Amino acid sequence: MGTDWYRLHPAVQARFLHEPAVDEPVLYEGVMEKVHCSKAGWLFAQVTRLIGNPLAAQRGRNVPMQVHLIKRPGHGGVYWQRSYFFEDKPFVVTSAKRENAKGQLCEYVGFGFGMRLRAFARHGALHFVSERYFWEVAGVQIPLPHWLSPGRTHVSHTDLGHGRFRFTIAMDHAWLGRTFYQTGVFHRS
């Protein structure tokens, strides 16, 4: 992030300053006020079940959630385990955020698939935007065509004060429009 780090709200900096310890996961709890996927998004979610279910195919309002940040022994980066407690059935997504061999921030979802991310600050909030989806084999990232992805991903983490923050994720495909959208308020437990 470079100098953008200093443009983040101090509470956002505090949340991202340190990785969790191996034996001390960090837990965030909250409610996703809106969880939406389009018909095209639903199709992407079905296809990506083959690589570890990185996309929630359900829709809902006021969905309780837990997010565990975990450090695994012998593995780089931080694992993010997101548990959605939909009324009909819970849904869990796990991904790992870590740097690739070139020092670029990436989020990996399973079987070497992931996306390269650009992080920046805007109005004190932390933003992550996908630059490219890829399949990584033996440390080499093979770019995937943009049309094969669920779209450009934009995540924002905005401090709301009193230990609370808003998490929003939107995925927008060039041809199919918005495929996924989620927003909710969380706090550390």
Domain segments of the chain: what residues? 2-188
Residue whose entry in the numeric block shows the structure tokens 């870590």: 98
Dihedral sign for Cα atoms in the order 183, 187, 188, 189: negative
Q: How far is CA 158 from the centre of its chain?
A: 14
Fold adopted by 2-188: Lipocalin (2.40.128)
The answer on pLDDT for 123 being more than 90 is: yes
pLDDT tens, residue by residue, 3-59: 999 999 999 999 999 899 998 999 999 999 999 999 999 999 999 998 988 899 999
**DSSP reduced 3-state for 103:** coil
Which burial class, exposed, middle or buried, applies to 3 when counting CB atoms under 10 A from its CB (0-12, 13-18, 19+)? exposed
pLDDT tens, residue by residue, 168-188: 999 999 999 999 999 999 999
Half-sphere exposure of 153 (CA within 13 A, CB side): 21
Query: Is the pTM of the predicted complex or chain greater than 0.85?
Result: yes
Residue whose entry in the numeric block shows the structure tokens 């770019």: 143
Instruction: Report whether 151 contacts 170 (CB < 8 A).
Output: no
Instruction: Report whether 165 contacts 12 (CB < 8 A).
Output: yes
